[in-house]
Amino acid sequence: MNESQENSILVIRLVCISISSALIAIPQILWSEFGYQGPFLIVIESSFIFIGFLFLLCGLITHFPGPVLNFTQKIWARVETWASAGKLPVKLATFGLLTYALYLIVPVFLSGVEHYSSVPSNYEALLAIFTLASLAILVFLHKLETKMSKNLTRLFYVPIAVLALTWAFAFWAGSPKYPTDEMLLDYYSAHLALQGTNPYVVTNTAGVFGFIHSSIPGFPLSIGTPLLTGGLVTSFSYPALSIYSYIPAQVLGISPSATLLPLYAVPPLIIFSLYSDIKFRLLSLSPVFILLLNPSYLIQTGLGYPDILWAILMLISISTYKKPVISGLSMGLALAVKQIPWIAFPFFLIFIFRETGRKAGIAWTTVAAAAFFLPNLPFIFNDPSSFFQALASPGLLPLIGIGFGPSQLGFLGILPLSREFFTAMVACLGISFMIIYISYYEKLRFAFLAFPLIIFLFNYRFLLDYVIFWPIIALAIPALMRTERDEAINRQHKKISFRGKEKVIALTIAVLLLGVPLGIQALHPVTGDISIENISIASTGNGNVTAISLSLWVENGNLSYGQVLYRIVPMSPMPNLNGYLWQHGNITTGNNSATITILPENSLQQIPASGKYRIIAYYGDISAILPFTITNGTLT
C-alpha cells in the first residue's frame, strides 16, 4: 500500500469520526430548543445518536469495503492536486469563512440557554479574531511545509497549544463560575478534604449549598439534582481524583473551571504528536483542527467538569497500549476520576490481553488496579462502606429523569417504564457488546470506543457529557492503525468460530435485551396509584403563572397528599435541566381526592403564561402526568 492510499484511508477514518462528533451533539441542541415534545422528538434524538454510533464504528473498524476505499482515493487525489498546484490556501480561506459563519451561530444558541446568559457582548468579535488566526496558522504552516526540517517540526506544538488555549478561554470567559451542582459538590468535597473531613460520608456534604450561598448569595438551587422523594442531592459520588483536581482552586482561591482550563490544550498536543510523522503537514494537522473546531468540546471548558482529566488519561492509555506500565497507570488514574470510563474498561482489558499477551496483560492490570486504588486509599481506610456506597449511588439514588433519548418514554409517562428497566438495559447492552466484541475481535479491535454511545443512550439520565469524549479519544485510533501498517505488524489472533455462531450470538443477545429488562420491569412496575384529574390557573403575574389548582387522586394508602411533589416540563426551550419545580400549598381533602394549590419553589420556577407543558406529580416510583396548554394565562 503506497503513501497516497494510506492517506486516503486516514482521511475517511477522520471524516467518519468528525461526523460522529457532530451528530451526537445535535440531540442536546434539539432538546434544549424544543424541550420534552414527546415520541417524535425522542425518535429523532435517538436516531442522531445511533447514526453517530455507526459513523464512529466505521471510522474504527479494521477494514473498509472496497467501494469506500475507491471513492475516498479519488477525493484524496484531488486534494493532493490542489496542494501541489498551490491552490489549497484558497480552499482553506473558503473553509475558514464557512467556519466563522458556523461559529457565529454558537453564541446565539448559548445566549438562549440560562446557564450561558453571561456570554459577553464582544463574543462574536473574539471568535472572528480566533478563527482568522487559526486560518492564518494553517496557511503559514502549509507554505513552510516543504521548507521545514525534521527538528523544526516540533515548533508546530507551540501554535497548536496556543490556539487550543485561546479557543478554550473564549468559551470559558462566557460561562458562570459554578454552572452545575456536580462541580459544586466536587469543589466542596475538595474543601472538606483539605480540612481532614471525609466527603464520602453523606452527612459531611449536607451543607454544600449553604457553603456556596455564603460565597455567592442568591445562587440558584434550580441547577441542583432533585430526588424523587424530595430534596436535592448533596452527597458526593465520584472517585478521589475528582476531589484532588479541585484542590488548586481551593488553595489559590480561583474559579474551579479555570484550574482545569489548561488541560484542554493537552488532547490537541497528544493527537498532533501521533500524526506528526505524516509528510503531508496539513493532513497531520487536520485531526487537531477537527478537535479545535468542535463547539461541544470547547463549551465543556466553561462547565468545569473533571471529565477532561479522565479523557486525557484514557487517550494516553490507548496511545501507549504497547507499554504496559504507562498505559496501565493512565487507565487506572482515568478510572479514579469518574465512573464514565468504567463502561469501556472491560473492553480495553480484553484488547490489552489480545494485543500484548498474557504476561504484559497481567502487568497492565496490576498497574491499573494500583493506580486506581492508591488515590482512593485514604478514604477507603477511613470509611470503606461510605466510599463504595458513594461510588454506586449514581445508579441507586432515586433521581428525577432528565435528558434526551428513550428514557423520556418512562419519566414523561408515555410508556410505563421504570428506572430499573433502563438500568437493566444499560447492563444488558454492555454484556451484548462484550459478546459481539469477543466474537468478532479482529474486525472490532479499536471499535469498542463506539459502544458507549449506544450503552449510555439507554441510561435513565442521558446527557451529552456521557458521550462527547469518545469520538475525541477515537481521533488517536487512525494514527495507531497507520503506525501498525508502517511497522508491518502481523497479528495471528485466535478466532472464535463454531457452527451456527451468528444464530447463537443473535439469540443470546435477543434474550438479554428483551427478556432481562422486561423481567426487571415486571418486578418494578410503574403504579397508577395517583392521578391528576383536572387543573386550573389559580393566579398569574408579570406574564407568568404563579399558582395552579389541581385535583389529585391518591389510592396508595402509604402516600399522603403532602408527600407528593410536582414538576412542570415545557414542550419548548428548556429553562434548565430539571424543568420547573413546584410544591404544594393549600390542600383541601375530599372523599376520594384532594384539591391542591401548587406553587413554584421560587420566582425562577414560574412558568410563562403561554405555552405547552406536562405537569408531573410524583413520589418515588409513583407518578401521574397530565399535558396542558396555556394561552395568555388561560387554559386552552
Q: Tell me: the pLDDT tens digits for 437-467?
A: 998 898 889 999 999 999 999 999 998 889 9
CB 226 within 8 A of CB 219: no
Q: Which amino acid is at 28?
A: Q
Element (H, E) at 539: strand 530-541
Query: Is residue 142 pLDDT above 70, yes or no?
Result: no
Query: Is residue 221 pLDDT above 50, yes or no?
Result: yes
Return the pLDDT at 107.
44
- Bigger pLDDT: 547 vs 284: 547
Are 469 and 611 part of one and the same domain?
no
Per-residue pLDDT tens digits for 553-563: 888 777 888 89
Return the pLDDT at 490.
44
Query: Is residue 63 pLDDT above 60, yes or no?
Result: yes
Report the CATH number at residue 544. Answer: 2.60.40
How much is the average pLDDT of 214-233?
75
Per-residue pLDDT tens digits for 347-356: 999 999 999 9
CB 398 within 8 A of CB 229: yes
Are 273 and 144 part of one and the same domain?
yes
Nearest to 529 by CA among 616, 595, 618, 591: 618
Residue after which a domain boundary falls, among 461, 486, 511: 486
How much is the average pLDDT of 515-528?
84
- Bigger pLDDT: 331 vs 491: 331
Contacts of 290 (CB under 8 A, 6+ apart): 14, 17, 18, 21, 475
Q: Rounded to the nearest 5 degrees, what angle is found at the Cα of 322, between the Cα atoms of 319 and 324?
A: 100
Per-residue pLDDT tens digits for 294-313: 777 877 777 778 899 999 99
Are 480 and 534 part of one and the same domain?
no
Distance (Å, whole) CA 373 – CA 332 = 8
How many domains are there within the chain?
2
Per-residue pLDDT tens digits for 225-259: 899 998 889 999 999 999 999 998 888 877 777 77
Residue after which a domain boundary falls, among 458, 486, 514: 486
Q: Is 192 among the domain residues?
A: no
Are 439 and 545 part of one and the same domain?
no
Query: Is residue 188 pLDDT above 80, yes or no?
Result: yes
Return the exposure string of 331-355: e unless at least 16 CB atoms fall within 10 Å of the residue's CB, then b. bbbbbbbbbbbebbbebbebbbbbb
Return the pLDDT at 449.
96
Return the pLDDT at 361.
94
Contacts of 563 (CB under 8 A, 6+ apart): 230, 619
Are 461 and 595 part of one and the same domain?
no
Q: Which amino acid is at 453?
A: L
Query: Is residue 130 pLDDT above 60, yes or no?
Result: no
CB atoms closer than 10 angstroms to residue 519: 11
How much is the average pLDDT of 265-286?
79
Distance (Å, whole) CA 371 – CA 374 = 6
Q: What is the pTM of this model?
A: 0.85
Return the pLDDT at 451.
96
C-alpha cell of residue 110 = 448559548
Distance (Å, whole) CA 526 – CA 263 = 44
Q: Rounded to the nearest 5 degrees, what angle is found at the Cα of 155, between the Cα atoms of 478 and 100?
A: 70
Q: Is 505 among the domain residues?
A: no
Q: Is 229 among the domain residues?
A: no
Confidence of residue 202 (pLDDT cuts 50, 70, 90): very high
Query: Is residue 508 pLDDT above 80, yes or no?
Result: yes
Return the SS3 of 615. strand
Q: Rounded to the nearest 5 degrees, what angle is found at the Cα of 29, between the Cα atoms of 23 and 30?
A: 95
CB 386 within 8 A of CB 198: yes
Distance (Å, whole) CA 572 – CA 580 = 12
Between β-strands 594-600 and 607-608, what pairing exists: parallel, antiparallel or unpaired?
unpaired
C-alpha cell of residue 138 = 494553517
Return the pLDDT at 117.
38
Its sign, for the CA torsion 423, 424, 429, 431, is positive
CB 264 within 8 A of CB 165: yes
Q: DSSP secondary-structure letter at 405?
A: S
Are 465 and 553 part of one and the same domain?
no
Are 282 and 351 part of one and the same domain?
yes
Query: Is residue 488 pLDDT above 50, yes or no?
Result: no
Return the pLDDT at 212.
72
Q: DSSP secondary-structure letter at 62?
A: S
Q: Which amino acid is at 440?
A: Y
How much is the average pLDDT of 185-206?
92
Return the pLDDT at 598.
93
Are 464 and 560 part of one and the same domain?
no
Query: Is residue 489 pLDDT above 50, yes or no?
Result: no
Q: Which amino acid is at 362?
A: I
Q: Which amino acid is at 209?
A: F
Per-residue pLDDT tens digits for 75-124: 656 655 655 555 555 455 445 445 444 444 444 444 444 343 344 444 44
- Bigger pLDDT: 608 vs 69: 608
Q: Is 593 among the domain residues?
A: yes
Query: Is residue 125 pLDDT above 80, yes or no?
Result: no
Are 165 and 59 part of one and the same domain?
yes
CB 118 within 8 A of CB 176: yes
Per-residue pLDDT tens digits for 302-343: 777 889 999 999 999 999 999 999 999 999 999 999 999 999
CB 570 within 8 A of CB 36: yes
Return the SS3 of 529. coil
The CA-to-CA distance between both ends of the chain, in Å, stands at: 68
Residue after which a domain boundary falls, among 428, 462, 486: 486
Return the pLDDT at 216.
57
Return the pLDDT at 612.
92
Distance (Å, whole) CA 276 – CA 282 = 10
Confidence of residue 265 (pLDDT cuts 50, 70, 90): confident
Q: DSSP secondary-structure letter at 115?
A: G
Contacts of 498 (CB under 8 A, 6+ apart): 504
Least-confidence region, from 74-88, 274-288, 361-375 = 74-88
Return the SS3 of 403. strand
Are 566 and 467 part of one and the same domain?
no
Are 537 and 478 part of one and the same domain?
no
**Residue span of the structural domain in which 577 resides:** 530-635
Return the pLDDT at 111.
43
- Give percent of the chain with pLDDT exceeding 70: 76
Contacts of 208 (CB under 8 A, 6+ apart): 184, 185, 188, 234
- Bigger pLDDT: 63 vs 27: 27
Burial of 485 (0-12, 13-18, 19+ CB in 10 A): exposed
Are 295 and 163 part of one and the same domain?
yes
- Bigger pLDDT: 184 vs 380: 380
Contacts of 538 (CB under 8 A, 6+ apart): 546, 547, 548, 549, 597
- Bigger pLDDT: 432 vs 497: 432
Q: Look over the chain and give the mean of its residue pLDDT values, rounded to a whole number.
A: 81
Distance (Å, whole) CA 150 – CA 296 = 34
Return the pLDDT at 108.
45
The radius of gyration of the chain's CA atoms, rounded to the nearest angstrom, is 26
Concatenate the DSSP letters of all residues of 559-594 into one string: --GGG-EEEEEESSS-SSTT-EEEEEEEEEE-SS-E
Return the exposure string of 380-410: e unless at least 16 CB atoms fall within 10 Å of the residue's CB, then b. eeeeeebbebbbebbeeeebbbbbbbbbbbb
Confidence of residue 223 (pLDDT cuts 50, 70, 90): confident
Per-residue pLDDT tens digits for 585-601: 999 887 778 999 999 98
Q: Is 146 among the domain residues?
A: yes
CB 345 within 8 A of CB 310: no
Q: Is 200 among the domain residues?
A: no
Q: Which amino acid is at 513?
A: L
Contacts of 43 (CB under 8 A, 6+ apart): none
Return the SS3 of 279. coil
Q: Is 295 among the domain residues?
A: yes
Q: Is 375 among the domain residues?
A: yes
Distance (Å, whole) CA 20 – CA 470 = 10
| Unique residue bearing C-alpha cell 521545514 | 148
- Can you name the residues that pair with 629 across neighbouring β-strands? 612
Distance (Å, whole) CA 368 – CA 352 = 12
